Structures are given as C-alpha cells and as structure tokens.
Structure 1
Amino acid sequence: MKKKIIRVTTVPISLGGLLQGQLKFMSSFYEILGVSSVGVDNKLKKVGQQEKVRVLPIEMTRKITPFQDIKALIKLYKLFKKEKPLIVHSHTPKAGTLSMIAAKFAGVPHRLHTIAGLPLLEANGLKRTILNTVEKITYSCATKIYPNSFGLKEIILKNKFTTKKKIKVIANGSSNGIDTEVFDNSLYSQIEKDNLRKTLNISKDDLVYIFIGRIVTDKGINELIEAFSKINKTSNNVKLLLVGGYESELDPLSSKTLNIIETNKNIISTGWVNDVRSYLSISNVLTFPSYREGFPNVVMQAGAMGLPCIVSNINGCNEIIIEGENGTIIPVKDSDALYNSMLKFYNNKQHFDSKKCRDLIVKRYKRQVVWDALLNEYQQIDNS
C-alpha cells in the first residue's frame, strides 16, 4: 500500500499549472491527494483529471481574511487528522501558513513547504512586521523548507526566518523545472509564425520584445514601458508584446503607463493566454524587469524557446541567466539600464546564440531533473 502525500496550494492554477505533471509523476510512487480552492469553473476538479489524482476543495484566499483563514485552518486540520499522511507539502504563501500550522497540530510527521517568492520583500512598516511574523510561524511549523532558488535561500537565512539545518534547494532550483519538449521553437513552422505576426500587425522587419506575466507594477512594467517608449521614439520597427492579465486592485500600474499602453500602436497587449509558446516563437528577446521572484518559469520557458533574456538582478533570474551567454542582468527598478540593454540588443541582436540559450536550460532545468530530485527527497524522508 502506497504511503500518502498531500500537496496543498492556495488556488488550483498553482496545483495544476505551476506544478503541471509533477503530481501525476509522484502518484506512481505515492498516493497523492491535491488540496486547493475550487477555482473558477471548478478548476480543481479539472486538475484532478489532468494529474490523475484525488483532489479535495478547501477554500483559501490570497489576501488577509482572518475569518475565512480560520475556517480553512480548521478544515485542513480535520482533513489531515482523517487522512493521516506521511507528508504534507505546501506551495504558495497562504496555503503554506495554514497547512503547516494545521499539519503540525494534526501530528503529521513531515511538513514540507516550498518557497517560490517572498512578497514581503516589497512591504514596509507594520505590514512588513506582520508578514515577517507570519513567515516565521510558517517555517517554525514546517520540518523542511525548500526555497526554489539559491538566492532565495540566502534571503531567508539573512532574515533569520529559519535555520540552515531546515532549509534546502532541490536540484538546481525551480519548483517544477521546464518541459523542454513542449517549449521548443522548432515545433512552430515559419508559416505559423508569419500568420501570427500578420494577425498582430507585426512585420518581418520588426524586432519584438516580449514580456510574459502579470501586467503589474511589481513586475517592472512601469520601467519597461518607459524604456520601450524611449527606443520607439527613434526606432519605429520595434514591437512590445505584453502577454498577461492586469491586476488593477492588487497592484495597479501608473496612469502614465496605462495611457502609453493604450495609445502606442507598437505596444500589443494580448491579455491572459493559456499557451504562450506561439508568442515566444515570434519574439526576439524576453524583457523581464521584475522586482522579486522565486524562480520564474517564464525565463526558463523563453530560454528553452531559444530567446535571450533581459532580467533584473533578483534571485532566480540571476541564476537562470548567465551574463553574456543567454542574456543580460540589470539593476532592479532601473529604467535607464533596461533601456540601454534593450537598445544594445536592437543594435546587435545576433550577439546571442539561440541554440546556446536553449541548451543551458535543457541541461540545468529540464523537468525530469527536478522531479527526480524531489522524489529522492521524499524517499529519503520515507526511509528516515
């Protein structure tokens, strides 16, 4: 009889998207139960079907909602007492805090939490104090902490959230690696690329910068729009693809930035898309000036598609990108540095070898490498 592992995320898109394929792989070795909120259009059920594992809904919110949080905490506790898993493994901040506390009180022997980013790094004052306290509580209830990058590990230790004994990076970093057989530019024919360019009103002579992610301040969009606008003033054969959705309530852009996006015909905003590969296939370089990340999938995806990347000097990004080999690294919140790097690429786009960009990702972050390392971690825990 297989031993049981419960995987918990706040929302189902993390369970089935960020961890895509991982639960199905692990179910060959352990009984896997996925727990998350129901999601839009009963997304959690679809994740269960996709991963071929049992799933159970427990509603959790991404915001601070004390009453709802307590309800979720009680439900998680009851679930863990009933299921008696060997391991509870959580991802995402809210799910991590609630499930680690609940698992400890329920007597779960092994409580693992993966860190994919620290939103508190951009907080100040009382909010930062509260978030620091919550983070320490989460880590103290866990038996093992897995930051998904070495830079994040150093930040956690520097802030004294936990001890060296309890913390470990799986493989070379990343929560799930990258499916390099799916993210491969050779899957797209020149005809398909030409048709998409035509649909988006991008000519064959245009150089295409692309950003993929949430269109919010925290991702450096204000700086990106400022930098692109400067290039666009002297060069009209450039396009900026913004692939992602807005979060106007949580992290709005400046009114100036929004106005430029709406009025500049060379900035193309696609909204949220389920499959970003076709957009990467017609682009020349990823621009990703985020303020903070855990281990950004989009940088690995772009690299696997053969794109060089311009990234900010933050953990995760500065591990995936090797300066001058598969991209360049710039200071955080520096629109001038971003502009200079974008301009340099415009003037000499042949500087980077697309094959080398891809090979560096395949070698270090192929999905199976991460899965095998995590499975080995589970088996070591199981045998301890």
Structure 2
Amino acid sequence: MQKLIRITTVPSSLRTLLKGQSRFMSNHFEVIGVSGDGDALAEVRQNEGIKTHVVEMTRTITPFKDLKATYELYKIFKAEKPFIVHTHTPKAGTLGMLAAKLARVPHRLHTIAGLPLLETAGNKRTLLDAVEKFTYACATKILPNSFGLKKIIIDNKYTKPKKLLVIGNGSSNGIDTMHYDTRLISEEKKEALKQELGITKKDLVYIFIGRVVKDKGINELVNAFNTLSKREINCKLILVGPSENHLDPLLPETETLIKENRRILAVGMQKDIRPYVAISHVLTFPSYREGFPNVVLQCSCMNLPCIVSNINGCNEVIENEVNGLIITVKDEISLENAMQFMIDFPEKREAMIRHARCKITKRYEQTYVWNELLNYYKSLN
C-alpha cells in the first residue's frame, strides 16, 4: 500500500482540523501523521489509528530550529519513502515541502487554509512573501481551501494558476453534519449551562468561537458589544477559545472590557463547542482573514445565523440576509449595526435560521469533501 504522510505544525491541528480524515484515508493508503509532540498527537494515534512521528516545529521564524526540523523531516521521508506528502499550516508547509523535495517525494501537496502574512507590512511582509513563493515552488500542487483564497494567491503572484486546485466546494475537512446537530444537546444540559453562565430566557446570545486574538476581529467585537449592551439589557456575548497574546495580542482596553463587562462571558478553550452553540442565537465572526472557516460551517449546521466579515471563505458560506449578515472588515460600526439588526428583526433572524443548516449539508458534508480529495490522490501517478 502506498504511503501518505500528513504534516501539521502543532498536533492539535492534526487532531482537530483533520479529524476523521486520516482514518478514512487509511482504507486506501498507509497514513502517517507528523507533528510536534503532545497529548493531541497521542489522541491522533488512538482515534485515527495511524502511526505518527514527532518533529518539533515553531510557529515563528527561528532559522536554526527550522533547519533542524527540516533535516528531521528529510530523514523520515527517506526512511518511509512516501508516495504523497501533504502539509497543512504555514510552518509545516514550508519545512515539509522543502524536505519532501530534497527527499524526492513524487507528490508534494500543501493546503492553504489562510494567509497570516496578509496582515503584515514592510520588511516582514517582503520576507513572508518570499517564503510563501518558496513553499509553493517546492510543492507539486497547492490546494487553497476556498475559491477566494485561490484568487488572492493568483493576485499576489505566489504561483501560477495551473498549480492551484480547490477540492470540492472548499474546506479542508468538510463537516460532520450528524455531529453538529442541536438535537444532540439535551434540554437539561442547555439549561444547566445557561444557569452556570447566568443566561436568562430573555437574553439574545451572541457567540464567538476561535482564537481570541486581534486578527479574529476581537477588538472590534468587544467594543461593538460593549456599546450595544449599554442600549440593550437582554444580551450576552460568549467568547469560546484560547487567547494567544504572545502571537497576536488584543488591545489593553479590550482586555479590560472583557474583564469588566459582566455580559461578556469568556469561557476559554472548550473541547466540545456544541453546548455553547446550542444556547446561542447568533455567531459573530468578524475575522480579518480566513482560509475556509470551520466555525461558520459548524454554527450554521447547528442553525445559527452568522455575522461574518466580507472575506474569502466567510462570504462563500454566508449569503447576506439569507443565512446571515456580511459586514465590512475591521468596521466596528458595521458589526454593531448587524448585531442590533438581529435584535430588531427577529422574524428575519428566524428566516435565516431556516436556511442555515440546509446550505451546509448540500455543499460541505464531510464524506463528500473526503471523497473529492481521495479522487485527487488516486489521480496521481
């Protein structure tokens, strides 16, 4: 059986972003996972039933550590002799594609699920642009996970259009529509969580899920909600996800508002987001940049209208005033107005709910995405 090696920078990406996919591909390839060490990698071995290798990679520019990781990847490729190396996340992509090219792996695929460099400028942007082009040059195929991202790559001239391929309708892993179903969360569980968080029947609950960082639009979201909550007594905002102040810090005044506004409920990282989605009414996701946002798929699948930025990925899932609202990027007033809209027009919000889940099941069902990727793997020779 031919070998397929999947690589991510940190093991949580291998565990969460590609959940179930490695086990599915194991029916057709000998799948090997490579990532940094940790409990998440142990979970991958157990849940996906695949062999794994540990290679520590950093998420910042660290030349000596990067060279060491590249050499370790090269040694793995020479020993395993894979037919395909498929990388995800920026650092794993750069190091994995270089090592795979040096090891003469025949098929070197890199999935683009977002471009953090779009939010940089000056010398750092010049450097990151060069790294991006280098990564693409080492790959045999680049797989943007949205059509908007494909256009951005072409516009920035990172590679030639013929080297790009979007799998299916976009998304790296699709969505398990049977898992993300509000019917799986009992009324008892929902009531207990509401009581724990101090949410009443009168409250309209907004939710954000993701890294609580600047690039996700958290400064704008917290400010917009803070202003809204002064006018509207019955509203809450749940923030689900880890902060990464060492990588992308929030403004100090945003941190203060999160602590001081008692209607902002920061619950941190949650292994199962579904109970929190089930007690919410609207997803607020004002991100600056995305590849293809899983959280918009997940919340839509659980019947939430979504307020999203007018960026690639988000505007491919959400149709304005059909299954959500599309707002201007980095525009606090646009966001506040959209949140107010959801309060002022409950009948329009209800109509959006009716369109939310069906759009996802038609286009992004997990097995469809997996089979589309498998068909591409099988086309390689």
Does TM, scored on the shorter chain, surpass 0.5? yes
How far, CA to CA, are the matches of 1:133 and 1:98 in structure 2? 14
Match of 2:237 in 1: 240
Structure 1 residue 90, shift from structure 2 partner: 0.4
Is 1:253 the counterpart of 2:224? The answer is no
Is 1:165 the counterpart of 2:153? The answer is no
Q: 2:332 aligns with which of 332, 335, 346?
A: 335
What's the TM-score once normalised by structure 1's chain length? 0.97
Match of 1:359 in 2: 358
How far, CA to CA, are the matches of 1:189 and 1:81 in structure 2? 51
CA deviations over 1:54-100 (Å, ceiling 9, x no partner) = 11111111111111100000011111111111110000000000010
Query: Where does structure 1 differ by over 6 angstroms across 4 or more consecutive aligned residues?
Result: none
SS of corresponding position for 2:9: coil
Is 1:134 the counterpart of 2:115? The answer is no
Segments of structure 1 that go 5 or more residues without pairing to the other structure are none
One-letter amino acid of the counterpart of residue 54, structure 1: K
Is 1:84 the counterpart of 2:71? The answer is no
Match of 2:32 in 1: 33
Match of 1:294 in 2: 291
Is 1:316 the counterpart of 2:305? The answer is no
Structure 1 residue 187, shift from structure 2 partner: 1.2
- State how 1:159-308 maps to structure 2 within 5 Å: 159-308=156-305
Structure 1 residue 190, shift from structure 2 partner: 2.4
Match of 2:374 in 1: 375
How far, CA to CA, are the matches of 1:349 and 1:274 in structure 2? 31
Structure 1 residue 349, shift from structure 2 partner: 2.7
CA deviations over 1:312-370 (Å, ceiling 9, x no partner) = 01111010111111101111000000011100111113313323200111111111111
One-letter amino acid of the counterpart of residue 34, structure 2: V
Q: How many residues align?
A: 379
How far, CA to CA, are the matches of 1:7 and 1:251 in structure 2? 27
SS of corresponding position for 2:329: coil
How far, CA to CA, are the matches of 2:20 and 2:347 in structure 1? 35
How far, CA to CA, are the matches of 2:214 and 2:7 in structure 1? 28
Greater shift, 186-195 or 364-373, is seen at: 186-195
How far, CA to CA, are the matches of 2:56 and 2:167 in structure 1? 29
Segments of structure 2 that go 5 or more residues without pairing to the other structure are none
How far, CA to CA, are the matches of 1:79 and 1:261 in structure 2? 45
SS of corresponding position for 1:60: coil
Structure 1 residue 121, shift from structure 2 partner: 0.1
How far, CA to CA, are the matches of 1:32 and 1:183 in structure 2? 26
